[in-house]
Structure 1
Amino acid sequence: MNYPGMTLWFTGLSGAGKTTIALGVLHEIKARNYRVEMLDGDAIRCHLSKGLGFSKEDRDTNIRRIGFVASLLSRNGVVVIVAAISPYREIRDEIRCNTTNFVEVYVKAPLEVCEARDVKGLYAKARAGKIHNFTGIDDPYEAPLNPEIICYTDSETVEESVAKVITALEKRAYIFTPQNSAVDTN
């Protein structure tokens, strides 16, 4: 059976939980036999956007590239999951306008929580001046104004956030609840 594709765009600060929740959603959607791909911001920077820096212009170029690939895949019936900081509202809104079936998920966590989760030590390096243009420290993060879904990762478990996303996608008929395969014996 063919289903319309869609783009599920996770945005939030580094360490908010975008990739963790996106992977949980990916596994749930894949288990329902949908065609699904994940575009992770870190992986895209290593391959498709290699050589780009962290200026606003370079960040916008990176997000446009991710958005272009997501749009190509989704218009061909793939559920595309994007997990990228994508700090600027204007470029996210541009991607939304150019993408059919776009759902924005704001993975929200206070900066201090993200810093406490930072296993790579990037926030500490940014605060020490060793990394420049770091989102949330010396470069802005512009939170979405009207995301379809908000995951509050400082107060929700990963499982609760994944379930929230899956439920929202079911309510919008982007994915469907699996049918019970048990045979009715009545």
Structure 2
Amino acid sequence: MIVKQGLKFIALEFLLLPLALLSPYLLIILLPIIALTILFFRDPDRGIEDGVVSPADGKIDYVNDRRLEIFMSIFDCHVNRSPVDGIVRKIVYSKGSKLPAFMRHTNSERNEIYIETDHGTFKVVQIAGFLARRIICFVKEGERVRKGEKIGMIVMGSRVVIEIPEGFKFVKRVGDRVKAGETIAVKA
């Protein structure tokens, strides 16, 4: 399945295909671009596990007691999911620079989604990287979300952060690869 936001990019690339057939060089360039675009905008079905689940696919490159950060390369699925059942209480979008996503920094463009639950507030932060040109948020303030529900995506390489309230502990470590919907934290 492909995320609907990617269909226009894929359609445009396919419209260029007849032009590329005029030159083998253009074809050699366009076919990998089409393949990467389809790969990037894929939206695979996911099984949703118990506990607090990962909001994104990627490699964990930072963890402390309350915060876990996931670097998403251009080869990871970029659809972000809610880590818990709850109500979206606040969404805060901030413009900023577009530094490489593999670097941990605080002044990049970001979208913070605060999800209130009976156990406290969880925060998911979508951070745009150097290649990312747009953060897309699928949810609105006041909306109820289910664990594993799609809450947004970041176009191209990026980073997703999750902050958890007291009473939970992360079960994943730096260097672990995760998939959206996979357990990353449990009740302490």
TM-score, normalized by the shorter chain, greater than 0.5: no
- Report the structure, 1 or 2, having the larger strand content: 2
- Report the structure, 1 or 2, having the larger helix content: 1
TM-score class, shorter = under 0.3
